[in-house]
Structures are given as C-alpha cells and as structure tokens.
Structure 1
Amino acid sequence: MKLRTVPGRLASGAYILHSGLELWKGDERQAAATHGMAAAAFPFLRDVPPRRFLRLLAAGQIATGAALLAPFVPSALAGAALTGFGGSLVAFYLRAPGLREPGSVWPSREGIGVSKDVWLLGIGLGLLADAATECRAAERG
C-alpha cells in the first residue's frame, strides 16, 4: 500500500465498514425501507426479500470496507471494490425518484446525502488510476 493511498482508503474504508456493521443489525422495518428505496431505483430487486437484501447489502459493505482497510489488499483490488460500490450508489442517486432537481443532476434537498457518494466513486477511480500508473512504470523498467 502506498502512503498516498492511505487517507482515501482509511476514510472510505472505515465509513463503509461501519455502515455495513450497522446495516447488519438492522430490523425488519429498516430492511423494508432500504429494500423499498432500492427497488424503486432498480426494479429487478423487487423479487429479493427485504431482509435478505439488507443482509446482502451489509455483507457487501463489510467486505468492501475491510478490503480498503487491509494493508495487504492491493490498491487495484481495493479500488475495483470501491469503484463498484461507489458506482452503484451514484446509479441509485441518478435513478431514485425525488433525489434530484427535475431535469438536473443536482440534488434535491432529499438527495444531498446520497449525492455525496460521488466522492467514494472518485476515490475508487483514483486507486485504480494509481495502480495502473504503478503497473506501467514497472513495465518500463
């Protein structure tokens, strides 16, 4: 792990891990609410039972957060995981009703919290770019 990747991995990893652990403890009400929002944005999720959806989401967050925090996980792998996670959150933001101002990418009052997840996507892409740069430098000698 390069020193320059530590701040982004630490900040995003700790946040995502904590969020996943909190989701894991979620009750039926939280499962129904989380599943309902996700299914509104991604209709194919309607067939997944709410409790199972919450557990799968929590497990994905825990795994992603742990990968970012583990120094032995290469930045390319951690970056790929974070890019996938961040990308899914940005897609949710773009698809979920009521999170954006009509006809705009800018958030509504309700969408401010979710719109900030674009930073997770940016950190993930930065980790991937850093890993690709290191790989090219190693190939050149």
Structure 2
Amino acid sequence: MKKILEAVTKEKPNADTLEALQQILKDKLGLNKVLLILDDVWEDSKMIEWETLMAPLRSIQRGSKILLTTRMRSVADMVTCVMRSRKDYLHLNGLNEDENFMLFKKYAFDGLNSEDYAHLLPIAEKIAKSFMAVLW
C-alpha cells in the first residue's frame, strides 16, 4: 500500500495505519483515471492481503485499468477474484515487442483520442518492451 501511494504522490505517506493508508489512496485516486501496473507478482496464497491491498482500488474511476504481470495463473485467478472482475487473461508468451506495444496501447488508452496520449507513447513503449502480461 505504501509503495503504491509513493508512486501516486511521489512522496512517502505520512500515515502509519492501514486504514489511513487506504483512505489516502482512495482520496488521491478519486476522480482520476489510472493505469496501475503490478509487475512480476508471485504471491498467490494470502487472499486477505490481496483483499486489503485492492480494497481502495475497487472504487477507481470507470475506464481505469489494472495490469498484472505474473508467471502464475493462480496469481491472476486470486486477484481477479478479489477485484470481482471477469477473467480476461492474455498469455503473451512469444509476442514480439511490436505486438506487446500494440496490446499495451489498446488496454492503456482504450476509448481515448490518440492526440490526447501522444506525449505518453515513448513511456508506453518502454513499459511494453519490459513485460509479458496477464491483463483484465
């Protein structure tokens, strides 16, 4: 929770309790569309911790995306269960960088006018080069 908050605010959170951290995250994300990337996740045995981590993310704005990269289908199963979302897996083994980039653009910028995100394409390309993903 603290790491996600630090990424969002660019500073260390000044709260110590879990409830306070959850509320700060919920407030910060509030009315903004977000793209949250959880990269190279391996934890698939602690459902309660996933519930706690994802609770403030259930209320993010419609159109926001969470991208989880993992090598374990059980991780994706657990997180989609916690988020109460449909399971939409994309097994990306074997995709080349261009295909990863096209897929990333589709999910990250779905429904947006290309002029609105053109300045983000270099960052998106770097991200796409670095992952094989499971998306939902």
Q: TM-score, normalised by structure 2?
A: 0.29
Structure with the bigger percentage of strand: 2
Q: TM-score, normalised by structure 1?
A: 0.29
